[in-house]
Every structure is written in C-alpha cells, then in structure tokens.
Structure 1
Amino acid sequence: MNKTLLNIWGAGLSVMLTQGTFVAQGEPTRTVVASPDIRRDATVVAIESALPGVVNINAKSTTKRQGYFYDWWRDAWAPFTQEMPPETSAGSGVIIDEEGYVLTNIHVIEDATEISIKLNDGRVLPAQVVSGTRRSDVALLKIIGQKNDRFNTVRFATDDDLLLGETVIALGNPFGLGGSVSRGILSAKTRRAQAEDGLLDREDWLQTDAAINPGNSGGALINLRGELIGLNVAIYKEGNGIGFAIPIKRVNEAISEIFTPEGAAALWFGARVQAGATGLIVARVEPQSPAGKSGLNKGDIILRVNGQIPRTVFAFNRELLKSGDKEEVNLSIQRGDARQSISLQLVAETTFFNADLIRRKLGCTVQELTPAIALRAGLDSIAGVIITAVDKESPAGAANLGRGMIILGLNNQGINGITSTARFLNNLSRGTAVKASVLAGRPLRRVVVELRVR
C-alpha cells in the first residue's frame, strides 16, 4: 500500500496518511470506515425493488358520431356513422408475472382498440386484454413480446398484512408524464362508502395521503418491503391528500374470477382457491367438476401443482392453464396433518354446461343469440339465449314461455350465453324458484316470469 508522509511543522506533529487509515505521532491508529450512502433508506430500496415492474399504459379508442336514426340500423348502415379521431388515455399497470401479465384498472383500458405498454427500461410493446370486470375495476393484460422475453415483476403482500400509519409509496404514470413515485402513510385500511354521500362506490378501499393523480390509476401502492398492497384507483376531488387503492385482498379475489381455466380458456376445473395465512386454500369445490371428482375438498391447502410451488392465485391458475384439457394436472395438498397427491384433467365447459342441461332443468331448447337476431330484437349485444322449442308439462311450458322469446337474465343476473345459463341453473336444486327476465310478444317487451327448475 502506498504511503504518504506529511510533516506539519507548524503544529510540531508528524502525520502519516494511509488509504483508509489515520496515524498521528503518539496516538493509536484509527481506521476510518466509509459509511453507506445515507440517502438509500428503506423507501429508496423499496422503490428500486418495485419500480421496474410498474409500467405506463397508453390506450387508444375509436369513437363514432352517430346519426339521428342510427340506433336501430347501427350494425348495417355504415353511412350513418362517422369515425372521429382516436382518443388516447394514459394510465399505469403492474407486472405480476414474468411472462408479461399486467394488472391495471378496467377503466384505464375499457373500449380500447389499441393498447401499448411502456416498460421501465424504455421499451414500448403492444398488449392485449385477457379479462376484467367493472365490478372489481380490475383488468388483466398480456404483453405481446418475443417468445423468450421475461419481465420484472412486483411481489404481492400477504392479504390484510397492513399497518395503519405505515409508510406507503404510490408508483405510476401521473398525467402521462412517465414513471413517478410519491410517499405517504396508510390513512385507512377499510374505507367504506356512505350511502347518503355516494363518495365511493366500492367497499374496503385503502386510503392514503400519497399523491395519486390522473394517470396513476392501475399503478402500484407498495409497502417498505417493496410488496404490492394495493392497486391505485382514485382520488377524492373534494379534499387534498386523499387517494384510494384497491387492497391486495380484493385484487386476489378479482384474479381468482377473471383468470381461471373457465374464464380464460373455457375449461372446467371446478374449484376456487384463495390466498390465506398458510398458503393457497381451496375455498369452493363444485361436486360434479373435475376437481370435485378428484377428491379435492374445501379447506385443502395447495402445496404444489405439477411440481411447482404456486405462491399466488395467479400462479396456480397459470399452471392449470398450461396443462389444458390434454394433460393431467397433479396436485400436492395438505389436509389436516396429512399430505396427499391428487390427479385430475380439465374438460371443455361445453361438455357439461350446454343446451341439454338447460333443457333438463327448464324444459326448453335454446340457442345462442346471433348479431342478426339481436338486431331484429333491437338489442345492443348478443348476451342472452333464444328459445327455439318448449317441452310440454315443463317449467318453461308452465310459465307460458314460447318459441322466439329471448332469456336475458336469471334472478337479476345477466347471462352471456348457453354456458353461463347452464352454469347458473346447475347450482339450483330441484324445485327452486327462479325469476327469468324475458323479451316476449309483438313488439317485443321485457317481462319477468317465475319458473321452478326440475
């Protein structure tokens, strides 16, 4: 090691300086240790961990100006429609899987015809919508990249692992300006709407004073561990420093609905799992489903699926989908103190939830609505089923249902088609009363009739 000897004659003191060492005549040697960068506190470390998994979302939608008489002929008369310049909205998203699945709010991408994702490294890639629901305001996107692309992700916090007053950080794309962070505290863990003011239309939102601005929607709210505790969703315009996020518990519930073998690939698994303190727990099993027939029970803890340890509901369902309906799914579960292995195979939903099941339950034959039928009925969508025949001495016959009538909903729930109708009816026991919303008569008008399933 090079040494430099400095004689300070004015002080009558000889000082020897070495790299990292201070030596003075008559004094013991003292080592000066370089201190860590005091700026890199827990907040900075959390941001460095999570920010690479937060993206900017650009959604373009095409709007149309409609003529006065367009409502009835909108699907057939192009001259009545003038396409306007595309509208663009900016939001944020969170990558939750290395294969490029992204969470955001449904209102960020609703009606979008083109979606692009800007990654933290500056790359811009297209994306497509996988699924989502307005009720949860959660949407799942898939980045369209190269086959071997792997993306940075944000870890999920454990459900309800929240401390009132703990430091939280909002990550997102405010005002479309690009990646940004703001810090605050968790002000409330279960903010609920008050019916008389209607400030919030969903229960159990997280409240924070971290700045959540337009464009932050769909971004991450993280704790000091860098874990996702919520999905940024809104600000309260009547007050300063009041922002809201969907808690990770509700996000997990939404994923368990929108990213399932049934929802993503029309394959029947027949069980729902949820995140718990001890891991993934089976919350519900349909008796006649592949899961039910395999012996899977409510309360079982999922340890492995096809040899992989699923740490989230999303990871579990992703492994199921990889197997499809051609390969066997192998589950390792814990039931009480015992560990067991279970095998099953997914099947196409239509092999069970079909028109035959509807006929057995209601005594009527139905088919899917087509755009042409919907147009003649003055409907805006093809959600529902049309009756083509009614059996004598059947629930449908007793309710005076007839050929050409359109079933739009059951018990105030909309139906999308034959599969959803059959799935709804399958859960009803013999003799159960069900109210059907039906279009009937000439001209067609909406009526409600009661049937008793058989």
Structure 2
Amino acid sequence: MIMLFRGQIRAAGYFAVVLASLWLVSGNDSCRAEQSAVETDIRRDATVEAIERVMPAVVNIATETIINVRDPFDDMIRQFFDPYHRRQAPNSQLSLGSGVIIDEEGYVLTNDHVVRRADKIWVKLYTNDTPYEAKLISTNPKSDVALIKIMPRQHEKFAAVKFAKDDDLLLGETVLALGNPFGLGASVSKGILSSKSRSTPKENSQLDIPNWLQTDAAINPGNSGGPLLNLHGELIGLNVAILSDAQGIGFAIPVKLVNEALSEIFTPESSGKSLWFGARVRPGSVPLLVMNVQPQSPAEKAGLMAGDYVLKINGKQPKGFIDFNQQLVNGSSSEVPITIQRKAEIKSLVVKLIPEKDYFNADFVQQLLGIRLQELTPQLARAFGLNSRDGFVVVEVDKDSSAAQALEPGYLITAINGQTAQDMISAAKILQGKKRGEKVQLDVVAQHRRGAFISYRQGTVELTVR
C-alpha cells in the first residue's frame, strides 16, 4: 500500500511537470504571436519610419518683429501668411515657417525669406514646447537659403537630418514634405517627385522655378523652409513655395544647390575672423569631399585638391561640415594639420590660413587692372549723388596699363563685371582667377565740371587683365 501511494505521488508529479511545460510552450507561442503582430504591423511602412526619424529635427521658426524689406519673395510671403499676417497684434510673435536641424550643435537650415525680416528669431522643436532663441549665422538671398543656430541650454545636443547624395533623385519616387507650421506641431504631406530641376542656375543669378524640384506633395503655409525627404529619410530638398495659380504644384530647392549655398555661406571666410582658406567642402556625411580649390589660396599651397576626402583635422575626425569649419577657425594656431585621402593614398597636409585683407586688397586690384581704388566714403557718395556706399574711387592709374586710355583719378567705379562690391575684399574676389589678357568690364561714373556747373556721366569701360 505504501509503495502504491508513493507511485501515485510520483505519477502526479510527472503529470504536473507536463502540464507546466505545455503552459510555458503555449505562453511562449502567444508572446511570439503578439511580437510578430507588432513587427508585421502593416501601418509601419517606409513612410512612417522616415517621418519618425526626421520629425525630431524639424522646427517651427517664429520672429518677434518683422523688418519691412521689399524683395522678390514679398508676393509669396503675403500669399502664405495673409490673413495671419494682418491679424498679428503689435509686438506679438509671428510664425513665419519651418526649418530643419542639420547638425547636433543646433544649426538649422531654412529659407532666407523666412528669417530675413526678423529682429529676433525663436525656434520651437517638435519634441519640446519651450521655444529657444536663435541667431542668424549667414544667408544667401540668391539661393533663398539661410543658416541659423539654436542657443542651447547647457550642453544640449539635437537630432539632425541626413543629406541625400547630390542628384540622387528618381522621377516619380515618393517624397515627403515635413514642417512645423505656426508652432501647432508636425505637418506631413506625401507625394511624388514630379520634376527635377529643369536648368542649371546661371552664376550670380536669382534661383527660381526652373532651378527647383517640383512635387505634388502639399507645401502648406508655414511649411516653407522644412525638409523634402525621400523614403530613406534623407534630405533631397528644402521646401520653398507653391504655385498659386495651380493645384498640387509645390517646389523645393534641390539638395545639390543647398550644399553649394552652405559651402559659400558657412566658411572661414564668412566667419568673424575673415580667414582665407580657399577651398569648398561638400556638406553631408563624413568623410567630407573637397569640391573645389581656389588658385593661389592657402588650401592650394598646402596641396589640397578637388576630389580629396578629409579624414582628420587637428588630429581628429570631423563630426561633419559644421565641425570642420569651426575647427579651421577656432584653432589655437593659423597652421591647421589636415589628413586627406587621395584615391588610395593617405596624405598629411598643413594649411596656413591668412586674413583675407592680406591678399584681397587694393594692391591685388592694381596688379591686375593697373588702377588703385579707394573705398567710397559717405562724403564722396553724397558728392556723387549716390544713396549707396557700394563703389570705389580711382586714386591712381598706371601709365602702362589699358586703364590709362579710359580712366582718370576721381572716376567712380560702381560695378565690376556687373557685380557690386561692398568693400575692397569683395571687389578683389570678383577679379580672382582672372588670367592675363581676359577682359573686365567696369561701370563708371565720371564727374565733369564746366565753370560753376558739375555734371555726371555714366558708362562702361573694358580693361584688359595684365
């Protein structure tokens, strides 16, 4: 009897173990089924994933006051923000558009027309309702691209968008227009890439519809300045406008033109120190690509060439385009060590930056054209009846130059090859790269005195670079 009782207990124990095992298997199967259901959620497609990755980098941009500036984008701004603009009370914040963070330090890319009118700029993140104050770093009205910087709290880092490769565009591919209009939160519209930019922009010309991407994704009021993405969540354009006379036609500045604008407006030359580096590096993922190198520049003298990849600067890999330029400017020495890769070869170079004024000055202009110029003072501008100080007075003419036959001291130069220059550095840069024998056209104002009467004649003079 005792042996039978023990057998029964042993059998019951085995039975309990089997039941527990079956329960565990069943439970695991249930968990796997639930997990599989989550993983195969048909709603979570490439569109949703791209939005989730990038939306934390999308910001709303607002201003405290508006500066009245008349420019080519006035009609578009009025279309986008009326009647909101008219309803704004004095001294109230006006939401002007969106932007996208491109660097973890808080640098924000947006349209020039979004921030140009601002006395003060405020930025609100998608993930944070508390606005940050921001400052304008640089802007390019011709490309309608501007760079601002969020003033972080302590040592904050920010989510940043990734750039697509230049011209990595598929006609008809799905695109997403993101924004944060009026600080109301995320705004997303979906469409296709209807047309790539139709023409190559001319040098020093205003970008316009022929240079932009076209999409049927709705670019709503306030989305201007936000990112246009592909399904990889990469920036392929910067939302800029809609066509008022048509349905479903929006435009964005291609990332290639955005990169070109950034490489011009955020450089050692554009910094407060005005240092001459003389090379343009493509914004985007590392290693950074050197796009072009100016002749006779510190970069060229150091051995840097277009097509090189930057591996290190000051012994460290740059985090990105912004970090690279900051290290160039903020180093303890004007001599900056750079490690580059040229094809399969690794090279160590040292670039010695110099102040721009040490090279681009009156001596440089005189060497090329045979005339010595002086920047226009307010007194001289008034004497010539000009409202602007963008001009130069001829103070000396070399007798052995082509200028000796056309110019005299006292003549006023108002433009060089159709371009105005704010200072001597800008004037000299217009002439940079000109070779012996090339022609340079100057817009000239000459003063003529006849007794007590003074008259002014305007014309153009063509000089030969010597």
Q: What TM-score, normalized to structure 1?
A: 0.80
* Deviation, structure 1 residue 313: 4.2
- Measured against aligned partners, the alpha-carbon deviations of 1:131-185 in whole angstroms (never above 9, x if no partner) come to 2222211111122334523222111122222233332211113466443112222
Listed as ranges, the matches of 1:412-423 within 5 Å are 412-423=418-429
For residues 190-205 of structure 1, what are the structure 2 equivalents within 5 Å? 190-191=197-198, 201-205=208-212
CA distance in 1, matches of 2:189, 2:295: 48
User: Is the deviation greater in 122-131 or in 300-309?
Assistant: 300-309
CA distance in 2, matches of 1:434, 1:137: 28
Is the aligned partner of 1:291 residue 2:299? yes
Match status 1:345 vs 2:352 = yes
Do the aligned residues in 2 keep the contact of 1:20 with 1:32 (CA within 8 Å)?
Answer: no
Query: Alpha carbons of 1:203 and 1:316: their partners in 2 closer, same or farther (altered >3 Å)?
Result: farther
Structure 1 position 361 matched with structure 2 position 368:
yes
Q: Distance in 2 between matches of 1:249 and 1:229?
A: 8
- Choose which of 19, 40, 45 in structure 1 pairs with 2:44: 40
Match of 1:449 in 2: 461
Name the structure 2 match of 1:62. Answer: 67
**What code does the residue aligned with 2:66 have?**
S
Matched AA of 2:258: V
Contact 2:286–2:320 (8 Å) recurs in 1: no
Q: For the Cα contact (< 8 Å) 1:252–1:313, is it kept in 2?
A: no
Tell me, in whole angstroms, the C-alpha distance in 1 between the residues paired with 2:215 and 2:25. Answer: 45
Deviation for aligned residue 1:108: 1.1
Encode CA deviations 1:284-311: one digit per residue, 9 max, x unaligned.
Answer: 2233211111111233232222334447
TM-aligned CA deviation for residue 21 of structure 1: 3.0
Instruction: Write the distance in 1 (CA, Å) between the matches of 2:236 and 2:109.
Output: 13
**Is the contact made by 2:180 and 2:222 (CA closer than 8 Å) also made in structure 1?**
yes
State the secondary structure of the residue aligned to 1:360: helix
1:408-447 alpha-carbon deviations (Å, 9 max, x no partner): 2111122221001122223222332211012222444432
Q: Give, in angstroms, the shift of residue 281 of structure 1.
A: 3.2
Q: Which deviates more from structure 2 when the two are superposed, residues 261-270 or residues 436-445? A: 436-445
Tell me what 1:90 maps to: 96
Instruction: For 1:443 and 1:311, locate their aligned partners in 2 and report how far apart those are by CA, in whole Å.
Output: 59
The answer for the alignment partner of 1:133 in structure 2 is 140
Letter of the 2:291 counterpart: A
Shift of 1:327: 4.0
Counterpart pick for 1:53 among 52, 57, 62: 57
Give the equivalent residue in structure 2 for 1:247.
254
Tell me the distance in 2 between the aligned counterparts of 1:97 and 1:395.
Answer: 50
Tell me the equivalent position of 1:409.
415
State the shift of 1:259 in Å. 1.1
Which residue does the alignment assign to 2:245? 238
Deviation of residue 18 (structure 1)?
Answer: 5.5
Q: Secondary structure at the match of 2:129?
A: coil
- Aligned to 2:165, the other structure's residue is in SS state coil
The Cα shift of 1:129 comes to 1.8
Question: Which secondary structure does the structure 2 equivalent of 1:413 belong to?
Answer: coil
| Residue pair 2:68, 2:117 contacting (<8 A) in 1 also | no
Q: Which amino acid aligns with 2:429?
A: R
Question: Superposed, which structure 2 residues align to 1:25-424 within 5 Å?
Answer: 33-34=33-34, 35-36=37-38, 38=41, 39-59=43-63, 60-63=65-68, 88=94, 90-120=96-126, 121-146=128-153, 148-174=155-181, 177-191=184-198, 201-265=208-272, 266-274=274-282, 280-310=288-318, 313-323=321-331, 326-403=333-410, 405-424=411-430
Alignment RMSD = 3.3
Structure 2 unaligned residues grouped into runs of 5+: 1-18, 71-88, 201-206, 448-453
The Cα shift of 1:102 comes to 1.1
Higher mean C-alpha deviation, range 226-235 or range 310-319: 310-319
In 2, the alpha carbon distance for the partners of 1:30 and 1:416 equals 73
Distance 2:439 2:327 in 1: 38
Q: Does the CA-based 8 Å contact 1:58-1:115 persist in structure 2?
A: yes
Distance 1:376 1:292 in 2: 43
Q: Which runs of no fewer than 5 residues in structure 1 stay unpaired?
A: 1-13, 24-28, 66-83, 194-199
Bigger strand fraction: 1
Number of aligned positions between the proteins:
411
Q: Report the Cα offset of residue 104 of structure 1.
A: 0.7
Q: Which of the two has greater helix per residue?
A: 2
* Distance verdict in 2 for CA 1:313–1:445, change over 3 Å: farther
1:406 aligned partner, one-letter code: L
In structure 1, C-alpha distance between the alignment counterparts of 2:25 and 2:195, rounded to whole Å:
49
Instruction: State the distance in 2 between where 1:147 and 1:264 align.
Output: 23
| Secondary structure in structure 1 of the residue aligned to 2:257 | helix
Q: Does the aligned pair in 2 maintain the 1:192–1:202 contact within 8 Å?
A: no
Distance 2:220 2:162 in 1: 23
Q: Using a 3 Å threshold, how does the CA distance of structure 1 residues 154 and 20 change in structure 2: closer, same or farther?
A: farther
Query: Are the counterparts in 1 of residues 279 and 299 from structure 2 also a CA contact under 8 Å?
Result: yes
Q: Indicate the SS of the match to 1:96.
A: strand
Change in CA separation of 1:142 and 1:367 when aligned onto 2, cut-off 3 Å = farther
C-alpha contact 2:286 2:319 (8 A) present in aligned 1: no
| Counterpart-to-counterpart distance in 2, 1:152 and 1:31 | 33
